[in-house]
Structure 1
Amino acid sequence: VDDYAQREVEFLLGIGGIEIRHGQRLGANLGLGELREQFDAVFLGLGLNAVRELGLDDEQAPGLLAATAYIRELRQADDLAQLPLADRCLVIGAGNTAIDMAVQMSRLGARDVNLVYRRGYPDMGATGHEQDIAKANQVRLHTWARPDGVLLDDHGRVRGMRFMRTELADGSLRDTGETYELAADAIFKAIGQRFDDASLGDPVAAQLARDGERIRVDENLRTSLPGVYAGGDCTALGQDLTVQAVQHGKLAAEAIHAQLMLNVEAA
């Protein structure tokens, strides 16, 4: 709103001493090894850039998309009328991104918007208030159902999805064996992000200690490689919140500064 993010960038660059290098992608035209050779310290703020998969056949079919990619285009669009809009939309997920996606589709003019989640309302990542916003925007919320199959038309495009009804049994989620179908011209995945392993593909980056798919850091945001720090969603520290990622950046900057001062004194 009101170019807020752009003004923030301009404020930061106005501090001085900050250089932005565009077109650089770790794991593509850049490796952690060369960064360590060029700089005294490296901070990794990689986030979770890859979209989680549903694990279904035909998941790459035209019409099945990542919600985050569409929302990114929506936020940057100068003319919302030029955005591609499906008449019937399906959103898979139950967090903030899923609700945002479904509400935006309805507000842009989609005739039929359905959001499907494998558990019940209390387990949704989105709050009750956000669920109410979705309902107020004519989004139909379906619970206790998981994606079971992508339905395609004669041209190989998405025409809907088959769902398996679910239930809780002894505390575990299980299938009931009953299925149903929902028609859709577009299906948006909003089931969470995952770490993009391609970014840490060079030999040096491969040495980073990990906790599952996240980079392991200590209380000073230091990784297992000397001189390399990390923060935000790519680490396993706390909640995946923007404000916390910003705090990680501040703590890492302080730790890097302290270490560099020690190096200067030692020299």
Structure 2
Amino acid sequence: MTSNKTTYIEQPTLFIVPTPIGNLGDITQRALDVLNSVDIIAAEDTRHTGKLLSHFNIQTRTFALHDHNEQQKAQVLVDKLLAGESIALVSDAGTPLISDPGYHLVSQCRQAGVKVVPLPGACAVITALSASGLPSDRFSFEGFLPAKSKGRKDKFMEIAKVERTCIFYESPHRITESLADMLDVLGPEREVVLARELTKTYETIQGLPLGELIEWIEEDENRKRGEMVLLIHGHREPVNEELPDEATRTLAILVKELPLKKAAAATAEIYNLKKNALYKWGLENLS
């Protein structure tokens, strides 16, 4: 690992440097070399990044660049680059610019003719997708879900007929409400994967039809904790599955005494049918 900036970096450069999303062992040797060699590390949170640098005994000075100051401070960093310094851009975790600051800085660097070099590395979106079991040939990353219910439902309506896999970030304190909104719009049959605490001790990747996934999450409060990625299977044209008349009649009777979810589960057991199909039929015909 070299500390000679002039030999490792041939010209002033902005390096985009991914950092681990949980497991420090995921940092690359190239990332360590760059962080040691640049003149400045532009960090989303200098205190958070300071812990990472301390762990790897990196002494490079840091510069705060976050959502609230990036538009004002980006030109300061561009001027330093034009004056001959090299800079590494990092976020708190993962690849910069992916729902993290950096867009304005990179855009201004390219406009000014500054060399921009991206390093490959950790990214929660790609990590989750690779292990999700959902189609990965076509996908879109949609960032964080809106904070308000109406905004979330509008977003789910927007993607309801989209055939590619759609990926969102969500915070643990909103996961229950977000999945409830998703259920209202996409229904209980849509396959959804929850990937939480990726690369960490309690990493969990669970995929189920949405109705069952919500039940699974509600079984254990720990499943609502940690950094979360939600992956939604793209729209598929439904296969017409006729429910037997006797099953729907039974469901209609049971729902008078039981909540729809329990009535659907009981009817499914009696007739050996899918409870989600019965639940959906109940929503459409008995509510």
Instruction: Give the TM-score category using the shorter length.
Output: 0.3 to 0.5
- Higher strand content, 1 or 2: 1
Higher relative contact order, structure no. (Cα contacts within 8 Å, ≥ 6 residues apart): 1
- What TM-score do you get using the length of structure 1 for normalisation? 0.33
- What TM-score do you get using the length of structure 2 for normalisation? 0.31
- Which structure would you say has the larger Rg? 2
